[in-house]
Structure 1
Amino acid sequence: MAIAHHADIARLKRTHPEIFTRPLGERLRNWALWLGFALAVGFSLWWIDASPMRVINGLSKLGMLVGLMVPPNPGDGFWDFSYAMLETLAMAFLGTIIAAVVAVPLGFLGAKNIVPNWVFHFTIRRFFDAFRGIDGLVWALIFVSAVGLGPFAGVLAIAVGDMMVLGKLFAEAIENVDKKPVDGVRASGGGGLHVVRLGVLPQVFPVMTSHVLYFFESNVRSATILGIVGAGGIGLQLSDRIRINNWQQAAFIILMILVTVAVIDAISRRIRAKLI
């Protein structure tokens, strides 16, 4: 039995050698890719001046900062922090809603089964990609300079930063709808708007809502960062406490952010699970 098994393997090696040994060119290409990856990692570490001593020194300083944070204490700023947290939630909510409202028509325009013109489809998709390449923090800096400090700049930064991403996600969801309900609406004499309203939207609405909820979760975290650059909210309070080395209040603010994000994540996860 074992002899027959070895004979079968030997026959396979003769008839299909590519299964057992890769061609020399393919092996050289793989080695070159791994070598290039190792060189890129090594160059990156050298460029940022990474060293074990810097890591050790950084960890010791981090331990000292953590010691200064214990115990977290809001002092006399509890109500100011609570108001700033609500401001952050409002920024995330309004920014997400504005982005979603604008992204719905953009998604339909970017779906090739709704607008089949390939030139228009290519143009609007590249438009999505161009805006998606700009980070929300950059938008915050732009809008802080344009409209001034405060949560309004944060809302605009979140809305503009998210609408193109949501538009692309909505377009992909619309392109993947089941054609049978669409054909049924058309067969019954429905026009283009009827097809969208009765054939497409009921299929993609749960997916769109799920995306919007996920982005709201993410934007609550993002809004805390936007506040650090002057867009208001709890991030501004955190930045001020770190700047004056009030680490106990900074730790309390961080705990507030963690608890708030955890609660929102739990609620949003349940809603998305029911929708999907």
Structure 2
Amino acid sequence: MSRPTAPDRAQYRMRYRDVFDRPASSRLAMPAMVMLATSILVFGLVDLDFSPARLWSGVHQLGWISLMMLPPDPGSSLPLYLKALGETLSIALLGTTLAAGLAFPVSLLAARNIVRSGVVRFPVRRFLDSIRGVDTLIWALVWINVVGLGPFAGVLAIAVSDFGALGKLFSEAIESADRRQVEGIRASGGNALHEIRFGLIPQVLPVIAGQILYFIESNTRSATIIGIVGAGGIGLQLAEQIRVLEWQKVSFLILMILIAVAAIDWMSSKLRFAIIGRRAVA
């Protein structure tokens, strides 16, 4: 391919002046952003008292703790730990199920293709945003003060937190549904409820089921964290063993959590593929 001649280059420069003769503000924008980001990073490190010596000391301490964790040993507390793990799994399952059951009807009110009026849809969406904006750990602290310590507070914390997140995800799945099936129900004489029941729900049900399964897996970890603040489950046992420096028991509890999360991930993957496969066949 031949190089353009001088007249061609002049012609290109005249035609694409915004490319060849960019203003100084456009040329300096990227370097300025890089310098700003670097300055913020350096300021943050200095303001937070970042020190390589402290980091090296912390790594040394972490290595010592890791050696103290070997080998994992539950001692005589294995039945107690198994019961605590069962509580954690129950908190995750019950909290997610309760959140999904409450979020689905609300998500219909937040979906643009179900509720046309912004007067109704806007406050519902902002309500879901406000619920979702508070972390599960904060909800756990709130419910512990309301209903007391124990797994019940953990279930309520996960249910309220996931209510906002699932409501948003469900409404987005409903909005992305194919309108042709809904129009077919309407053309055959169906009413609005028939459109939702036979036109929308069969389309979004596999997506919703996959989201619920993922949240159950994620909430197994969340239930462990909120257990540390008194919401029951294996997190409470983990916090107690860290407090008394029983590192072998700590490593055993961590191993139990990892195995449980891996097993739930494997089962949820099988269920998701089964649901998708059944949907494809249908």
Bucket of the pairwise TM-score, normalised by the shorter protein: over 0.9
C-alpha change, 1:11 and 1:274, in structure 2 (3 Å) is farther
Q: Deviations over 1:73-107 (max 9, x none)?
A: 01001111111001100000000000000010011
Alignment map for 1:102-181 (pairs within 5 Å): 102-181=102-181
| Partner in structure 1 of residue 210 of structure 2 | 210
Q: Deviations over 1:167-219 (max 9, x none)?
A: 01111111111111101111111111111100110011111111100100100
| Partner in structure 1 of residue 279 of structure 2 | none
| Partner in structure 2 of residue 229 of structure 1 | 229
| Partner in structure 2 of residue 252 of structure 1 | 252
Structure 1 runs (4+) deviating above 6 angstroms are none
Q: For residue 151 of structure 1, what is the amino acid of its counterpart?
A: P
**How high is the TM-score relative to the length of structure 1?**
0.95
| Partner in structure 2 of residue 66 of structure 1 | 66
Deviation at 1:38?
1.6
Alignment map for 1:17-56 (pairs within 5 Å): 17-20=17-20, 22-56=22-56
In the alignment, the residues of structure 1 paired with residue 27 and residue 209 of structure 2 have an alpha-carbon distance, to the nearest angstrom, of 47
Deviation at 1:15?
2.5
- Which residues of structure 1 form unaligned runs of 5+? none
In the alignment, the residues of structure 2 paired with residue 199 and residue 222 of structure 1 have an alpha-carbon distance, to the nearest angstrom, of 35
- Aligned residues, how many? 276
Identity across the alignment (%): 49
Deviation at 1:8?
5.3
Deviation at 1:7?
7.1
In the alignment, the residues of structure 2 paired with residue 17 and residue 104 of structure 1 have an alpha-carbon distance, to the nearest angstrom, of 54
In the alignment, the residues of structure 2 paired with residue 235 and residue 5 of structure 1 have an alpha-carbon distance, to the nearest angstrom, of 73
Q: For residue 73 of structure 2, what is the amino acid of its counterpart?
A: N
In the alignment, the residues of structure 2 paired with residue 177 and residue 66 of structure 1 have an alpha-carbon distance, to the nearest angstrom, of 50
In the alignment, the residues of structure 2 paired with residue 134 and residue 6 of structure 1 have an alpha-carbon distance, to the nearest angstrom, of 63
Deviation at 1:62?
0.4
Deviation at 1:14?
4.2
- Which residues of structure 2 form unaligned runs of 5+? 277-282
Q: For residue 105 of structure 1, what is the amino acid of its counterpart?
A: P
In the alignment, the residues of structure 1 paired with residue 10 and residue 271 of structure 2 have an alpha-carbon distance, to the nearest angstrom, of 58
Q: Secondary structure in 2 aligned to 1:70?
A: coil
| Partner in structure 1 of residue 87 of structure 2 | 87
Deviation at 1:27?
2.3
| Partner in structure 2 of residue 12 of structure 1 | 12
C-alpha change, 1:12 and 1:228, in structure 2 (3 Å) is same
* 1:267 correspondence with 2:267: yes
Q: Deviations over 1:1-25 (max 9, x none)?
A: 5444787556434431433564312
Q: For residue 172 of structure 1, what is the amino acid of its counterpart?
A: E
In the alignment, the residues of structure 2 paired with residue 190 and residue 73 of structure 1 have an alpha-carbon distance, to the nearest angstrom, of 63
Q: Deviations over 1:35-77 (max 9, x none)?
A: 2222222222122211211110100000111111011101001
**How high is the TM-score relative to the length of structure 2?**
0.93
In the alignment, the residues of structure 2 paired with residue 32 and residue 253 of structure 1 have an alpha-carbon distance, to the nearest angstrom, of 48
| Partner in structure 2 of residue 220 of structure 1 | 220
In the alignment, the residues of structure 1 paired with residue 243 and residue 158 of structure 2 have an alpha-carbon distance, to the nearest angstrom, of 25
Range with bigger deviation, 115-124 or 33-42: 33-42
Q: Deviations over 1:93-136 (max 9, x none)?
A: 00000000001001101001111111221111111111111000
